[in-house]
Amino acid sequence: MRSPFIKNIEPGGVKEKVLLNKRVATFLCCVFISVLFWLLMTLSKEYSITVTYPVKYSNPPKDKVIANNLPSSINIDIRSKGFFLLAYKFRDPQTLYVNLDKSRPIGVLNHFYLLTNEQINNFTDQFSSRIKILRIIPDTIFLNFNKRIVKRVPVKAKLTLDMDSRYQQGDSVKLVPGYVEISGAADVISKVEYVNTVPVTIKNVDKAQVLMLKIDSDSNKQQFEINPKSVKAMISVVKFTEATIELPIEAINLPSGYTLKSFPDKVNVKYNVAFDNYEKINAQQFRAVIDYKKAESGSNKLRITLEKFPADIRSVKLNPQRVEFILKK
């Protein structure tokens, strides 16, 4: 007895489907081969295309600088077989160098022109031998040369130090060398008073360090050259401790025949000092005063100021900062 789950299969139908699949596969294969041959034949022919290239300028006169803005890129018509052009069309373009040796004077002082098509041989050396250069656009580049001058300017360090809580910066950052030479057009150089280093931040500083800082050349937008291009930064670090000293408060600028009594009559001075100098600090090096001339009308309070204190201490805080007073005759 035949199972109800088994259907009749017509052998002819299966064969027709297999035959159809083979025909489709053969057709697609033929299409692929035809496209491949067409592509090979097409790319084997010669074509012309225009490609844009970034440019840099070389060999300006030694005592001159370029004062005007020159094209940062040029268009070049090139001709070659499709295989090679395809590579040039889609890859990142290489930088081409324009030689300024062949620039000619226009007749106006310091004004010159350069015929770019005279650079074809120079550019050809920078291309594959299979590429032929047909034309360069623009065909003429105009140049304005200014006299080059040299000037010595100071360097300013853009350096941020995040000190460890137990340490403080000792002396100011020392730069070696502290000056650099800049050279360029006279009208540009005359306006430059100093140059900055590239900003740098150092965290958790707890020891002396020596760093190389690069001069920030990007900010000048290539308007002048800098030499040297980096400086050495020497950072001194000192370990500090906190100390407190109590001082009497002195009143100054009192009216003749008057005395002043402050409440309280002493002030606590909290400060940071290097370990090496801790024992050297004493009360005779301080003077805390209140100035009666600075009393505000209707107020019986004066601000305490430190008129004298050691140069070696840091982060000075007074407690209290203001005191009440009574003026007596």
Domain stops at, among 202, 235, 268: 235
- The answer to the question of residue 108 being in a domain is yes
**In CATH, what number is assigned to the domain containing residue 254?**
2.170.120.30
Question: Model-level pTM?
Answer: 0.52
Distant-in-sequence, close-in-space partners of 207: CB < 8 Å, separation ≥ 6: 167, 237
Looking at the structure, tell me whether residues 51 and 98 fall in a common domain: yes
- The answer to the question of residue 13 being in a domain is no
- The answer to the question of residue 321 being in a domain is yes
Looking at the structure, tell me whether residues 51 and 142 fall in a common domain: yes
Looking at the structure, tell me whether residues 244 and 219 fall in a common domain: no
- The answer to the question of residue 88 being in a domain is yes
- The answer to the question of residue 264 being in a domain is yes
Query: DSSP letters along 242-275, please?
Result: EEEEEEEEEEESPPTT-EEEEESSEEEEEEEEEG
Please state at what angle helix 82-90 crosses helix 11-43, rounded to 10 degrees.
Answer: 90
Looking at the structure, tell me whether residues 245 and 226 fall in a common domain: no
Q: What pLDDT is attached to residue 122?
A: 75
Query: Buried b vs exposed e over 253-269: b needs ≥16 C-beta within 10 Å?
Result: eeeeeeebebeeeebeb
- Amino acid making up residue 268: N
3-state per-residue secondary structure call for 135-150? EEECCEEEEEEEEEEE
- The answer to the question of residue 29 being in a domain is no
Looking at the structure, tell me whether residues 140 and 57 fall in a common domain: yes
Looking at the structure, tell me whether residues 54 and 132 fall in a common domain: yes
- Domain limits for position 274: 240-328
Looking at the structure, tell me whether residues 131 and 63 fall in a common domain: yes
Alpha carbon distance, N-terminus to C-terminus of the chain = 137
Domain stops at, among 111, 146, 181: 146
Looking at the structure, tell me whether residues 208 and 122 fall in a common domain: no
Backbone phi and psi for residue 240, each to the nearest 5 degrees, phi listed first: -110, 160
- The answer to the question of residue 152 being in a domain is no
Q: What pLDDT is attached to residue 82?
A: 66
Cβ 314 vs Cβ 269: under 8 Å:
no
Each of the 329 residues of the chain gets a pLDDT tens digit; together they read 444 444 444 555 666 666 667 777 776 777 777 666 666 566 557 777 788 888 888 888 777 888 788 888 888 887 777 666 666 666 667 788 888 888 888 877 788 888 988 878 777 776 766 777 888 889 899 988 888 889 999 999 999 988 887 787 878 899 999 999 998 888 888 889 999 999 999 998 888 899 999 999 876 666 788 999 999 999 988 888 899 999 999 999 999 889 999 999 999 999 989 888 889 999 999 999 999 999 988 889 999 999 999 988 888 999 999 999 998 88
Q: What pLDDT is attached to residue 169?
A: 82
Domain stops at, among 114, 146, 178: 146
- The answer to the question of residue 180 being in a domain is yes
Looking at the structure, tell me whether residues 166 and 214 fall in a common domain: yes
**In CATH, what number is assigned to the domain containing residue 191?**
2.170.120.40
Q: What pLDDT is attached to residue 40?
A: 59
**Number of compact structural domains in the chain:** 3
Looking at the structure, tell me whether residues 314 and 231 fall in a common domain: no
How far, in Å, CA of 1 to CA of 19, rounded? 34
Looking at the structure, tell me whether residues 50 and 135 fall in a common domain: yes
Looking at the structure, tell me whether residues 314 and 251 fall in a common domain: yes
Backbone phi and psi for residue 300, each to the nearest 5 degrees, phi listed first: -110, 30
